Amino acid sequence: MSQRDGLIVFKDVSFEHDATKPILTEASFVVRRGAKFTLMGQNGAGKSTIFNLIRGKLHADEGQINLQPKTTIAIARQIIPREELEYTLREFFEQCFKDKTYDIDPRIDKVLEVVNLLPKAGQEEEFKDRIVGSFSGGQQARILLASALIQEPDILLLDEPTNNLDTAGIEHLTEFLKEYKKTVLVISHDADFLNAFTQGVLYLNIQRKVVEQYNGNYHKVLAEITAQVEKEKRENARLRKQIQEDKDKINYFAAKGGKMRLVAKKMRAEIEESEDSKIDVRQEDKTIRPFTIDPHDGIPLEVITLESLETFATGVPKNMACNVTLKRGMHLRIIGPNGIGKTTLLESLAGGTATGEHIAEGVRVGYYRQDFSNLDFEATVFDSLMASMQEKYEEKMRSIAAGFLIRGEMMKNKVGSLSEGQKGLLAFAKLTMEQPGLLILDEPTNHINFRHIPVIAEALNKYKGAMILVSHVEDFVDKIKIDETLDLAKLKPVKK
């Protein structure tokens, strides 16, 4: 494909956040009009940076980034910034445009229908006046998508668009994207979602700092990349074996003296060339180490009971009857459609403020919150991890953190500067250190690289404390022991 055919053209682009953190080095790729590509790479590799380079929020240090004239761009962000949670829904959509949009209401109605987030009949105006923060996590995900679609852009950038969506929401989005005629670039770890509509992969190689372009459906490309990694590993293994054999010969010849020393010297030069030929295997092949979340000692048999709880099926809280006793070692899954109040329920459970909740005295609660707002974004990663250690041993903390690919310079960074995927791994590292007796997890696969998910599932499957889980990812849940499922949509109101 020639560059003249491209809607987006990167030519020899180099970019670094600072002198110690290069992201791209002479990277080149072309995306034609109407193409749908996955942007793939390790957590923290720079996928969001590439989005910001395309949007013009960042500028290349060297090289050229060219878009065809008058190309419009919109991005569906991962999360709604905290300051925007106070906007009304109408204000949230209005700020998507530089100039005042006089026909904003009919445009909002149209785009809410596209993302399947519809008010009840007769409540349209009231719906637009709702505060954005009052919507559930899944509804906020639809609002973020709608905020990009309402702009009708030439290039649609999607950053983890399936996070917080229920199964129906993912199916609705998938069908929409199949029919969408404009250019789409998407960051996601949902393999089946990507395979349904993308036509190729832009692969950010974190070692070479370039973008490799692959054509074909997602599963095919993933298999191709995996095969390449295995080939690189085999080649490195062959080179290591050859180098070691040659080093043994050098030692033998050097000990002989005379002309044999010259042979040894020549072989040393050949070994240096072989060392240079070793392939730096891409870090996407790295996965977090297997881990366990060990509960604290002294957990009672009955950890938590729920006699009633609040749901929001009609948009207002209702007190619903239930009868759940979660014992030590039991795992409870909570399900229900977007907007019914799953995240609100978990937050109140974690805070000890839920209606009808009774947690046994002395039980330590660990809470994985899907938006990570229970993390201190101003703290350094080092301080955040040390705060979770029950016994303040830095060496042990660093060992645990390294298992979650948290090491080196990352320790000095503020938590708020991490990518969403890195925040997720940090949250799991902290849970490992906190040793909770009750583990509460709200969509723990959001933002997480697909390579890490089986390791996390295995750790949760073996967890011996009481666990409450909300997750829409069935393949993930299938790998975890679930003793009981609570469907919020099937609960009945408390009898007065």
Q: What is the pLDDT of residues 219-248, one digit of tens each?
A: 888 788 778 777 777 877 777 777 777 777
Query: What local confidence, expressed as pLDDT, does residue 280 receive?
Result: 52
Tell me the two tokens of residue 409. 């310079």
**Could you say which DSSP state residue 86 is in?**
G
- The enclosing domain of 365 has a CATH number of 3.40.50.300
The yes-or-no verdict on residue 480 having pLDDT over 80 is yes
Residue that wins the pLDDT comparison between 315 and 9:
9
Average pLDDT over residues 387-400: 93
Average pLDDT over residues 128-132: 92
Query: What local confidence, expressed as pLDDT, does residue 273 receive?
Result: 57
* Residue of 351, 406, 350 whose CA lies nearest to 383: 406
Q: Which residue is it, tokens 């729920």?
A: 306
How far from 479 is each of 56, 317, 405, 436, 460, CA to CA, in Å? 42, 33, 23, 21, 9
Cα angle value 106/112/117 (rounded, 5°): 145
In 228-361 the beta strands, taken as DSSP E runs, fall at 302-311, 318-327, 331-335, 357-359
In terms of residue numbers, what domain contains 248? 226-284
* Residue of 428, 427, 439, 433 whose CA lies nearest to 304: 439
The region of weakest confidence among 196-200, 315-319, 330-334, 450-454 is: 315-319
Write out pLDDT tens, residues 18-29.
Answer: 766 788 999 999
On whether residue 289 sits in a domain, the answer given is no
Residue 238: other Cβ atoms inside 10 A: 10
**Could you say which DSSP state residue 490 is in?**
G
Are 347 and 387 part of one and the same domain? yes
Residue where a domain terminates, one of 175, 199, 222: 222
Distance CA 162, CA 141 (A): 8
Distance CA 302, CA 359 (A): 9
Distance CA 125, CA 144 (A): 19
Are 362 and 402 part of one and the same domain? yes
Tell me the two tokens of residue 55. 């949007």
Are 206 and 246 part of one and the same domain? no
Query: What local confidence, expressed as pLDDT, does residue 269 receive?
Result: 66
Are 24 and 148 part of one and the same domain? yes
CB 304 within 8 A of CB 357: yes
Are 428 and 488 part of one and the same domain? yes
Residue 306: strand pairing partners: 324, 357
On whether residue 306 sits in a domain, the answer given is yes
Residue 314: other Cβ atoms inside 10 A: 10
On whether residue 343 sits in a domain, the answer given is yes
The yes-or-no verdict on residue 276 having pLDDT over 70 is no
Distance CA 289, CA 476 (A): 18
Side-chain-facing half-sphere of 282: CA atoms under 13 Å? 23
What strand order describes the sheet that includes 331-335?
365-368, 438-442, 466-470, 331-335, 484-487
How far from 430 is each of 22, 156, 264, CA to CA, in Å? 28, 35, 52
On whether residue 123 sits in a domain, the answer given is yes
Distance CA 77, CA 159 (A): 6
Are 321 and 410 part of one and the same domain? yes
Are 308 and 184 part of one and the same domain? no
Residue where a domain terminates, one of 222, 250, 268: 222
**Could you say which DSSP state residue 455 is in?**
H
On whether residue 421 sits in a domain, the answer given is yes
Q: Which residue is it, tokens 């645990």?
A: 400
Side-chain-facing half-sphere of 141: CA atoms under 13 Å? 22
* Residue of 66, 275, 378, 355 whose CA lies nearest to 267: 275
The yes-or-no verdict on residue 283 having pLDDT over 60 is no
Average pLDDT over residues 94-119: 87
**Number of domains making up the chain:** 3
Most confident of 4-8, 53-57, 275-279: 53-57
The alpha carbon torsion through 259, 262, 264, 269 (nearest 10 deg) reads -160
Are 170 and 241 part of one and the same domain? no
- Confidence tier at 117 by pLDDT (50, 70, 90): confident
* Residue of 398, 412, 444 whose CA lies nearest to 425: 444
The yes-or-no verdict on residue 401 having pLDDT over 90 is yes
Are 72 and 214 part of one and the same domain? yes
Are 146 and 67 part of one and the same domain? yes
- The β-bridge relationship of strands 331-335 and 484-487 is parallel
Residue where a domain terminates, one of 222, 248, 274: 222
On whether residue 295 sits in a domain, the answer given is no
Distance CA 55, CA 73 (A): 7
> What's the whole-model pTM score?
0.68
The yes-or-no verdict on residue 96 having pLDDT over 70 is yes
Work out the mean pLDDT of the chain and round it to a whole number.
Answer: 86
CB 433 within 8 A of CB 388: yes
Q: Burial, 301: exposed, middle or buried (Cβ in 10 Å; 0-12, 13-18, 19+)?
A: exposed
Residue 77: other Cβ atoms inside 10 A: 18
- Confidence tier at 282 by pLDDT (50, 70, 90): low
- Confidence tier at 34 by pLDDT (50, 70, 90): very high
Residue 392: other Cβ atoms inside 10 A: 9
Distance CA 26, CA 64 (A): 10
Residue that wins the pLDDT comparison between 264 and 310:
310
- Confidence tier at 2 by pLDDT (50, 70, 90): very low
Are 251 and 316 part of one and the same domain? no
Distance CA 285, CA 449 (A): 11
The region of weakest confidence among 40-44, 84-88, 260-264, 442-446 is: 260-264
- Residues with Cβ within 8 Å of 478's Cβ and at least 6 positions away in sequence, in order, are none
Tell me the two tokens of residue 13. 């682009």
| Distance between first and last Cα of the chain | 70
The yes-or-no verdict on residue 252 having pLDDT over 60 is yes
On whether residue 456 sits in a domain, the answer given is yes
Query: What local confidence, expressed as pLDDT, does residue 278 receive?
Result: 52
In 357-416 the beta strands, taken as DSSP E runs, fall at 357-359, 365-368
Are 23 and 160 part of one and the same domain? yes
The yes-or-no verdict on residue 341 having pLDDT over 90 is no
The yes-or-no verdict on residue 474 having pLDDT over 70 is yes
CB 128 within 8 A of CB 89: yes
Residue that wins the pLDDT comparison between 207 and 215:
215
On whether residue 290 sits in a domain, the answer given is no
The region of weakest confidence among 260-269, 279-288, 308-317 is: 279-288
CB 155 within 8 A of CB 7: yes
**Which secondary-structure segment (H or E) carries 401?**
helix 394-403
Residue 483: other Cβ atoms inside 10 A: 13
- Residues with Cβ within 8 Å of 252's Cβ and at least 6 positions away in sequence, in order, are none
